[in-house]
Structure 1
């Protein structure tokens, strides 16, 4: 049986996207060495128009500054490559079909739905063990979206910070990793 165990909140919200990325760099000492020499130049306006929603600025900055990453040999997070934005949107739409199936099968007290439903889940990361990491989208600024974790152990939960802050807090041990293993502070290019 699936269950929504609760919501965790960050002790402090970052001042902006650069502050969130800096917090992740502090939590993952090897990350700064993987920083690209220049921003990637992803066509965010075209991608977001095709996807039908703007994405959080912290995630966009992470994708501009870093290649796709695997954290702790567990959690993969990555974004579109320049020139491949349409393919990324198509892959995301395919992933949304899986999210819709998971939401339909989950026996949650508060039902969740996949994007583009109002407040729907939009994936941004996955683990090597079958856990999924989403934004709970909403009418508010994407910077205010909640992270929703759907673990393979049928534990679902929310985090009221952004995706990059979630990664920093998960690796840094600030969060209780409900349904997830502890994540080592190691990072590699995916």
Structure 2
């Protein structure tokens, strides 16, 4: 699914009552400043989710990381701790295809985490953010990829349309973070 609003509608269907969390006035982000500081454009579905919803946790498990509106240029620096952990995991793991953290070409860029130490990342791609896929790095050592956008991943994970390999089943509930 490539349309951000369609993906968000799918997430709203997967999580009963989630649409009640939607902001009455969308948040405004300086995406060009953030993307300039990051050195990459971000996927449209992620940006739309950040604009329409406050930070939240799904199933008392998975949180999506947002930049702070008005302090977007700080977000890449805030990712550094997560990127250091990802680097350690990449070095410790022995995948068939070596993985590296962002900003390496094709590097992994964190967008979320769980309360159990799992990471949710984008596998970046030189073709642009519309081609990025979701990578899950579970604390149990399970790494897997989802070909699709972040919001569609959330909808599929919550609805049960996607096998949660190495993750617990995530209940279709939310709370504002």
Same fold (TM over 0.5): yes
RMSD after superposition: 1.0
How big is the shift at 1:113? 0.3
Query: Which residue of 2 is the match for residue 55 of structure 1?
Result: 42
Partner Cα distance (2:88, 2:40) in 1? 21
**Matched position secondary structure for 1:22:** helix
Aligned residue in 2 for 1:104: 91
What's 1:5 paired with?
none
Secondary structure of 1:21's aligned partner: helix
Cα distance in 2 for partners of 1:15, 1:134 equals 18
Residue aligned with 1:100, SS: helix
User: Once the two structures are superposed, what CA deviation does each residue of 1:104-162 show, in whole Å capped at 9, x if it has no partner?
Assistant: 11122221000111110000000001110000001112022110000111110000010
Q: Distance in 1 between matches of 2:121 and 2:65?
A: 13
Asked if the contact 1:146–1:160 (Cα under 8 Å) also holds between the matched residues in 2, the reply is yes
SS class of match (1:54): coil
Q: Which residue of 2 aligns with 1:132?
A: 119
Q: 1:174 and 2:154 equivalent?
A: no
Q: Which residue of 2 aligns with 1:119?
A: 106
TM-score, normalised by the number of residues in structure 2? 0.97
* Higher relative contact order (CA closer than 8 Å, sequence separation 6+): 1
Partners of 1:59 and 1:101 lie apart in 2 by 26
Local SS of the residue matching 1:76: strand
**Structure 1: unaligned runs, 5 residues or longer:** 1-13
Q: What does residue 70 of structure 1 align with?
A: 57
Residue 18 (structure 1) aligned with residue 5 (structure 2): yes
The alpha-carbon deviation at position 87 of structure 1 amounts to 2.4
Cα distance in 2 for residues equivalent to 1:110 and 1:134: 16
**1:28 paired residue among 15, 18, 33:** 15
- Which sits farther off after the overlay, 154-163 or 86-95? 86-95
Paired residues, number: 177
| Cα distance in 1 for residues equivalent to 2:167 and 2:15 | 18
How far does residue 93 in structure 1 lie from its aligned partner after superposition?
A: 2.6
Name structure 2 gaps, 5 residues minimum: none
Task: State the TM-score, normalizing by the size of structure 1.
Answer: 0.90
